[in-house]
Structure formats: structure tokens, C-alpha cells
Amino acid sequence: MKRLTLSIFLLVALGFAFMPTETIAANIITVTTVAHGNGSISPAWINQEVPAGYPLQITAYPDPSFKVTHLIVNNNLVDPNTGPYCFDSTIEISVVIHVYFGTDVATYSINATAGPNGNIAPPGITTYAEGDTACFQFFPDPGYEIDQIIVNSQPVTPIVNPYCFDSVHANHNIEVTFKEIPPEWTVTINYYFLDSNQDETSPTNIVYTTPGEGVHIYADKVPVPLNFTKLTSPYSTWDIYEIIVNSVSVYANYDGEDGFPPQPWYVTNEIDQDYFVDIIFMDFGTGIPYIEVPSLVVSPNPVSGVATITKDADVIFTHIEVLDIMGNAALYIASPGDTIDLSSLAIGSYIVRFHTEKGFAVRTIIKK
């Protein structure tokens, strides 16, 4: 505990021009000493009469962990750290002294900065009393996330938002950096089932691919493998008929002899867009036989209107069916020629069945 001793000898020496607080008898003055807060003063007087020139000494006693913070003499604030205080030994005025006690609290600063594409709050240099809790919150811009939080040149793991200094006892620096959130892409897998006449049907409770039918989310730039499960009894005559990715035929097994593609089969090796994968299964076991017609070409493909049919002269088509991806009839041509007019159809993928007396051939065409 530090005591503060006030020796009252010479007021004029400090340049104080105190005025008497009251008119009193000649050669008699009054002294009042008051302590405020966590401490005491000795002597503690209220209007104590003393003769002018009385050698008064006053001592302040702060409580533990406290100190004198303010000293007021006759309504004048005096720095308590410049004592002892000397007053004129021939004082002819009364004196009122107030002593205030308080804690000696240290303060510290925290410098907060943010990199591009985000903000920190509060920013810049902020001051905190010793023992305070200081919290900082981070605000990434849209499309960005926190990359690193660096406190006093050291990265913070795991990343937390907000970050708090639980008890400030030193100066600190805090910095936050931001990074772009990698895009996510979806792969939508749809199954379609055709019987041997290419009419839509719906077998159930069979696992066909991994991942299965539905919407799947992938991180940017990763491969998207697809594994196929060979169908077993009672579906052993079923097989892959065609795979269409984003309206483009990428795998065909029109005669049912090629089976599933190699495992795993990749939708893409490095995804950078959304994909729509249509997997068409077909029952090759019964019905009208599928035939190969190597000379059959439908062009252009994709087509916006009329497509041209090219084939050998000995190939005769009895009729042509155009089916949508669900197996529904979209167009029927009873007397086919060397063109197909698809201008009335909606944009999408279509299965075209070219019927002969021996069976049917199939081509996929994209209407754009």
C-alpha cells in the first residue's frame, strides 16, 4: 500500500491562488479533509480550526490494489503524482482537501485487419482494459469463406467465428483472410425402362447403378464415376440400352450384345458443370427382334427441323416411330421417305425406331 503525504507549507510556491471559503477570526483557519472510495486520509477533519501557519501534514492510505487517482484542493484538481504538496507557511485561508482512490488499470490495443473479399468487426486499432474480453467477427463477401485467422502471426485452428480474446493482458494483432468458395455441381440420374417393343415399363426393387437414381452433389473438379449392377433373375434379360448425358448419346447397346460399359464408367473425369444422365434399360428377351442396319444414318444430328435418312437401297422401312425418352410416342410415319420432319417436337432426346419386315433398327436423335 502506497501512502500519499501532503505537506502544507506554501500555496504561493505552486502558483495556486486560493480564495478564503469563509471569513474567520484573525489568525485562525479551518482545514477539511475528505477521503472518497477505497482508502482513508489522516487526519480526517471537518472544519478543524488551526492557527495560520500551522504545519499541517496529511497522509492518504489507499486500500490494497488501489491508489490515489484524484486530489482536489479548494476546487482545484492537483496531480497526485507530483507530491509532496507544499503550501505557504503563513497560510491565511481555509483549506478543503478531497482525495479520491481507484484502481491502476492497464490498457492494451488490438490491431484488426482483413484481407480482400471480406471484413472484420471492429476494424483497426481498438483499446481494451486489462482483463477485458475482446471479440472479433468476420464477414466474408458473397461467394467467399474464411481462409485463415492469424493471431500474433500464428494461424488459428479450428476456424471460429467470432474469435475472442477471453482476457486481454497484452497487445495483439488479428488478421483474417478469405478464399473463394469452390462451386458445387449436381449430377441428376434418371432411369427409363423399355420392353423389347421399346414401350415404357416399370420394373421395381432393382439396383442398377451406384450412385443411384436422383440428384447427387459433387465438389468442383472431381471425377464422377458410375458403377453398374448386372441384373439377375427375374430381370436377367434386361440390359443397358443407351446412356444419354446432357442430351448427347454417349453409350449405345442397341442389340443387347455389348452389355454394361466398363466399370467404373465415368460421367466426367473432372466435373465443372451440372450433368443430366439418362440411363435407358431395355428387356431384350422377347418381342420384335432388333436388327443392325450399318448403312442407316440420320443427319444432321442434332437437328432443328428436317433430318435426312441415308441407307442402302435394299433396306425398306415399313413405318417409323419416334419416341420420347420416356418411351411415349411422339411421332408416327406410316409411309416413310428419305426425310423425317421433327420441327413439331419439343427440344430433347428421341428414340427413332425404323421398322422393316425382319425387325427394327434404332437411332437416337437430338432435337435442338
Q: What is the per-residue pLDDT across 178-195, written as a single tens digit (0 to 9) for each?
A: 999 989 999 999 988 877
pLDDT higher at 74 or 278: 278
Strand 265-268 relative to strand 107-114, pairing: unpaired
81: confidence class by pLDDT, cuts 50, 70, 90: low
Cis, peptide link before residue 84, omega less than 30° from 0: yes
Give the per-residue pLDDT at 104. Answer: 64
Lowest-pLDDT range of 76-90, 119-133, 153-167, 345-359: 76-90
Helix/strand/coil (H/E/C) assignment for every residue in 2-56: CCEEEEECCCHHHCCCCCCCCCCCCCEEEEEEEEECCEEEECCCCCEEEECCCCE
Strand 275-283 relative to strand 184-194, pairing: parallel
Q: Would you put residue 91 in left (φ > 0), alpha (ψ -120 to 50) or beta?
A: beta
Distance, in Å, from the CA atom of 129 to the CA atom of 312, rounded to the nearest integer, reads 93
The mean pLDDT value for 236-255 works out to 82
The mean pLDDT value for 126-136 works out to 89
Q: Does 316 have pLDDT greater than 60?
A: yes
Give the per-residue pLDDT at 213. Answer: 86
Give the per-residue pLDDT at 146. Answer: 97
**Which cell goes with 132?**
477485458
Percent of all residues in the chain with a pLDDT value above 90, rounded to a whole number: 36
Q: What's the full length of the chain, in residues?
A: 368
Residue 355's φ and ψ, nearest 5 degrees, are: -90, 135
Q: Write the DSSP string, 254-278.
A: TTS-S-SPSSSEEEESS--S-EEEE
Distance, in Å, from the CA atom of 311 to the CA atom of 189, rounded to the nearest integer, reads 34
By the 8 A CB rule, do 367 and 350 touch?
yes
Give the per-residue pLDDT at 144. Answer: 95
Radius of gyration of the chain (CA): 47
82: confidence class by pLDDT, cuts 50, 70, 90: very low
By the 8 A CB rule, do 66 and 38 touch?
yes
Distance, in Å, from the CA atom of 8 to the CA atom of 91, rounded to the nearest integer, reads 9
> Coil, helix or strand for 81?
helix
Task: Please state the pTM of the whole predicted model.
Answer: 0.44
